[in-house]
Amino acid sequence: MMPRISVVIPLYNCERHIGEAIESALVQTFRDHEIIVVDDGSTDGSASVVRCFGNAVRYVHQPNAGVSVATNHGMSLSKGELIAFLDNDDVWLPWKLERQVTFLDQHPECGLVNCDLQYISESGVRLDRYLRGMNHKEKYVRLFQKGYVYMSSAILIRRAVYEKVGGFDEEFVAAGLQEVEWLARIVEYTAVGYIPEVLALYRDHGPRVPTDRGRLNQEILLRKLWDRYQGQPDKRRFLASERVAFLSNLGQSQVRAGRLSAGRQYLRQGLALSLRYLVNPKMFFRTLLRLGRSYAIYDRSR
């Protein structure tokens, strides 16, 4: 008999938290579900933790290929009419799936439902910080005004929607923004439901230093959103502003790292884009100042 819900958990080197994540899926008040854990080539003891759950969890191992590939692999193996996602270090409240199944049953026009999340510390202590889910009335707000906030642990999606829009884009090189690009496709196809209630806990690992992979991910996201929405003036203006800021910040980081030629090239690209679309004058002058300072750095080094 097919389960109503398939729970997909992509896993990579999360020995400390994966057990708690799986446990939160197993104790759901809605019991008609399967749990699929796709291990993306972990090198720690994550596999041993998962195997302790026995037949309650389907464990699949793959060579390291990234979270998008792992999640897509899990979806391809799933059998449920509905699909839920749980990050390997997040936690669901026991009634999360029950609340969301009830919502989708009552709102057949919605292909996806999401909820609010509460931050927890590394050790699991609840913090007074929250991530609000996306309301169907703000179809593009989360993508174009709220800094791309979107968490897969908060959603439940109909399989029919997944089969229509496809899985996560595997061009993304790291976790964090592949969900945003996916949601951009979803909101063009179906209405999104929202339960204004904390049903999941998001683990905060503290400040993260920007990495080259993270910057590349942002570049990929902005390019893909630009290709899709540049014909829509309101979204084009916002995305142009985002691209200017990205190029300016990237140029500054390159200059600080001593890569003056590359840094100046990014800064000039940001200036040209800002002038072309007449967006974000503050960022234009900031970028111009950064470009000027790059030559001052050069002069001091001579």
Q: Which two tokens stand for residue 121?
A: 């510390």
Segment 31-58 mean pLDDT? 97
Q: Could you give the C-alpha distances from 222 to 108, 166, 168, 273, 277, in angstroms and in order?
A: 32, 19, 16, 14, 16
Q: What is the pLDDT of residues 118-169, one digit of tens each?
A: 999 998 899 999 988 887 777 676 666 665 667 899 999 999 999 999 999 9
Kindly report, residue by residue over 63-77, the tens digit of the pLDDT: 999 999 999 999 999
pTM over 0.85: yes
Q: Which helix (H) or strand (E) holds 160?
A: helix 159-165
- Burial readout 184-193 (b: 16 or more C-beta within 10 A, e: otherwise): bebbeebebb
CA–CA separation, 255 vs 193, rounded Å? Answer: 44
State the CATH class of domain 5-203.
alpha beta
Q: What percent of the chain has pLDDT over 70?
A: 92
CA nearest 187: which of 164, 169, 219? 164
Distance CA(155)–CA(133), nearest Å, equals 9
Residue by residue, DSSP assigns 68-105 as: HHHHHHHHHH---SEEEE--TT-EE-TTHHHHHHHHHH
